[in-house]
């Protein structure tokens, strides 16, 4: 076993520092929570895995009822909301979020950017499907670092 340790020390040189280095979380805080609301389980999974790798805590919901439950404790800092959640309207739910959670930043997930459906929508961001992992992470980081949205 001693030869194994010597091998690495000889190649890499002896370490003089004994400081442990760790990777920083997305916002240097594990307390930031993202809610992903989409009826497509694969989208929820993709978002969960990649946002967790970036240091976020992720909750997901496949229905608006599940989303309401996930929001009930007030610990969600950013929401990603699909325009169509099953047979329900994510746009109508956005109005509910603005009323009941006025400081919550919301990005709409959609495959139909640029349509009439988005005129007058109060979303903080729109994330077009398909999106890259960089777009996902950057959108969440940007929204989490903004001052809270003001109702009205």
Per-residue pLDDT of the chain (152 residues; tens, 9 = 90+): 444 333 333 444 444 544 433 344 444 444 689 999 999 999 999 999 999 999 999 999 999 999 999 999 999 999 999 999 999 999 999 999 999 999 999 999 998 766 555 666 778 999 998 999 999 999 999 999 986 554 44
pLDDT at 115: 54
Neighbours of 127 (CB within 10 A): 22
Q: State the first-to-last Cα distance of the chain, in angstroms, to the nearest integer.
A: 67
Tokens 């760790």, located at residue: 22
Q: How high is the pLDDT of residue 121?
A: 76
pLDDT of residue 25: 45
- DSSP H helical segments within 13-77, as ranges? 41-53, 64-71
Q: For residue 113, what pLDDT is reported?
A: 64
Cβ(47)–Cβ(58) under 8 Å? yes
Q: 3-state DSSP call for residue 57? A: strand
Specify the pLDDT at position 9: 37
Q: Report residue 17: phi and psi, to 5°.
A: -90, 150
The rounded Cα 96 to chain-centroid distance in angstroms is 20
Given this model, what pLDDT does residue 146 score?
81
What is the H or E stretch that residue 54 is in? none
Quick one: pLDDT at residue 20? 39
The DSSP secondary structure of 91-141, one letter per residue, reads: HHHHHHHHHHSTT--EEEEES-TTSGGGTT---SEEEESS--HHHHHHHHH
Q: Is CATH 3.40.50.2300 the right assignment for the domain spanning 30-145?
A: yes
pTM here is 0.76
């Amino acid at each position: 076993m001693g030869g194994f340790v010597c091998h690495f020390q000889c190649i890499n040189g002896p370490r003089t520092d004994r400081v442990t280095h760790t990777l920083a979380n997305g916002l240097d805080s594990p307390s930031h929570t993202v809610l992903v609301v989409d009826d497509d389980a694969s989208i929820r999974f993709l978002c969960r895995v990649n946002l967790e790798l970036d240091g976020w805590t992720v909750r997901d919901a496949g229905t608006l009822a599940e989303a309401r439950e996930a929001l009930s404790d007030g610990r969600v800092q950013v929401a990603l909301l699909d325009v169509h959640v099953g047979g329900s309207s994510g746009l109508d739910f956005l109005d509910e979020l603005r009323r009941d959670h006025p400081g919550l930043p919301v990005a709409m997930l959609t495959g139909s950017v640029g349509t009439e459906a988005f005129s007058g929508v109060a979303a903080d961001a729109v994330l077009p499907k398909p999106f890259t992992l960089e777009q996902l992470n950057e959108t969440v980081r940007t929204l989490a670092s903004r001052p809270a949205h003001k109702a009205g």
